[in-house]
Amino acid sequence: MSKYLINVGSSIVAALDGVSSAQPAMVAGYWANIDFWLEEFRHFVRITDGYKQRSENMKVSHDRYCQKHGGPHNRNEFGQPHQSAMATTSDPERKRIVGAVRSSLMHVADRALNLRIITNSQYDEFIEQLKAV
């Protein structure tokens, strides 16, 4: 589950990474799709916010199964289970990746404004939408 969060966030950051140094025509294309990128960010925040509950659901189900069926059977040479249900990212790690995605979107907006692809009011409106997420 954590790998999924990290992969989604990293994929968005990677997709937007080159925009800050891209040619104006490319920046215009990214800006034309800014609603898509903003919705990707909203989705990412939703799945990040739900992580703790999903992790807890997984742990409860895992523990219930182990009680009913005699515990995890796949153990290493020290008797420890190879797999267990536990949170694999911390709150700070999840906040960091959300911040990285937000920062990438800010860079797109900054670049579009600097290239005069958008107006100050379009920039301000986007920043307000970004803050609301």
Q: What is the pLDDT along the chain (133 residues), one digit of tens a residue?
A: 478 889 999 999 999 999 989 999 999 999 999 999 999 999 999 999 998 888 888 888 888 887 887 766 666 677 666 566 555 678 888 899 999 999 999 999 999 999 999 999 999 999 999 999 9
Query: How many residues are present in the chain?
Result: 133
Q: Judge whether 24 lies within some domain.
A: yes
Separation between Cα atoms, residue 48 and residue 95, nearest integer Å: 9
Q: Judge whether 81 lies within some domain.
A: no
Tell me, yes or no, if the pTM score tops 0.75: yes
Q: Judge whether 76 lies within some domain.
A: no
Q: Judge whether 20 lies within some domain.
A: yes
Question: Are 72 and 83 in contact, with CB atoms under 8 Å apart?
Answer: yes
Domain tally, the chain: 1
Residues 6+ apart with CB under 8 A from 55: 1, 85, 86, 87
| pLDDT of res. 86 | 57
Q: Tokens for 127?
A: 């920043």
Quote the domain boundaries for residue 106: 2-70+86-132
Angle subtended by helix axes 24-32 and 34-49, to nearest 10 = 60
